[in-house]
Amino acid sequence: MYTLENVSKTYTQSKRQITALADVSLSIPSGQLVAIQGPTGGGKSTLLQMLGALDRPTSGRISLGEAELSHLPDRKLGGIRAKEIGFVFQGFNLIPTLTAQENVETALAPLGVPAEERRRRALDALASVGLADRAGHVPGELSGGQQQRVAIARALVKEPDVLLADEPTGNLDEETRDEIMDLLEGLWRDRGLTLVVVTHDSAVAKRAERRLHITHGTVTERR
């Protein structure tokens, strides 16, 4: 359960103030699938950063369950990211020198999971995204869709409460896009995740329970 109250985020770039989020108030109940749409530069990624405890708002309050994301120290935010939040990025963001399995394991390293269990859980996660047979491949040897599946396995292996995806299909061709969206939707349904997806794809957005639109830092509900 996310609660945002009057959240604003401004960036100062060469003495110019840029308002990325302007006085956003909303709440996202646990288990909801939310699609976020809007023009480039509207503030979608900034909102996702706030939800993902990657950065603190300039003003306002944001909480995930009991945790005050807007006021916790960096170390605590890191712990929350490690345990409760999974990320999927537009550019996959896999570590190029590590194999698929090792990439998935990186999500378990900060949780202090023993090596053997880490290996097993990573392989299970890869199996759940249909990549059991690619565990030993490095990202360079995988297609874009396969790389994004590895990234999804990495986000889910720690069994988080929240999955945040910033344009997860933005770098993929049309066929693969549907595969990835279907996969995310299936995981959301099976695991009772809170899933927030930034997407330009209206077809995908239409399937979501709830649609938010962000322009100039202002959020509006769409139905």
Partner 1 sequence: MFFTYLRRELAGRRRQTAIVAIGMALAIALVMIVNSVASGVRDAQASVLQSVYGVGTDLTVSQDPTPPEEGEAGAGPGRFEFGADDGTSTDDSTEISQSRLTAGFGSTTFDASALDTVADLDGVEAASAALSLTNMTFSGELPQFAQRTEGEPPAEGDTTQQAPTGGFDGAGGSAFDVNSFSVLGIDPGGAAVGPLSAVELADGRGLEASDAGQAVAVLDASYATSAELAVGDTIDVGGTEFEVVGTVTSTSADAATASNVYIPLGLAQSIAGLDGQVSDLYVQATSSDRIAAVQADIEEALPDATVSTQADLAASVSGSLSTASTLIANLGLWLSVAVLAAAFLIAILFTIQGVTRRTREFGTLKAIGWSNRRVVGQVAGESLVQGLIGGAAGLALGLAGIWVINLVAPTLGGSATTGTLAGGPVAGPGGDGGATASGPFGDRLADAAGSTTEVVLNAPVTISVVAIAIGLAVLGGLLAGAIGGWRAARLRPAEALRSVA
The binding site for partner 1 (CB under 8 A) comprises 45, 48-49, 52, 54-55, 74-75, 78-79, 81-83, 86-87, 89-91, 93, 95-99, 102, 105-107, 109-111, 118, 138, 154-155, 158, 166, 171
Residue 51 vs 172, nearer CB to ligand ADP: 51
Q: Which of 42, 60, 139, 168 binds ligand ADP (CB under 6 A)?
A: 42
At residue 212, what is the residue type? L
CB of 66 to ligand ADP, least distance (A): 27
**The residue to which tokens 């809170």 are assigned:** 194
Q: Which of 33, 35, 36, 45 binds Mg ion (CB under 5 A)?
A: 45
Q: Are 20 and 57 in contact (CB under 8 A)?
A: no
Residue 108 vs 219, nearer CB to ligand ADP: 219
Residue 45 vs 194, nearer CB to ligand ADP: 45
Residue 194 binds: one of ligand ADP, partner 1, Mg ion, none (C-beta under 5 to 8 A by kind) = none
Q: Which of 24, 43, 139, 219 binds ligand ADP (CB under 6 A)?
A: 43
Q: Are 154 and 106 in contact (CB under 8 A)?
A: yes
Residues in contact with 61: Cβ distance below 8 Å, sequence separation at least 6, in sequence order = 3, 4, 5, 6, 7, 68, 70, 71
* Interacting positions 104-163 with ligand ADP (CB under 6 A): none
146, two tokens: 């396969």
What region does 115 belong to: left with phi over 0, alpha with psi -120 to 50, or beta?
alpha
Interface stretch with ligand ADP, choices 33-41, 60-68, 72-80, 188-196 (CB under 6 A): 33-41
Where along the sequence are the contacts to ligand ADP (CB under 6 A)?
Answer: 11, 13, 18, 20, 38, 40-46
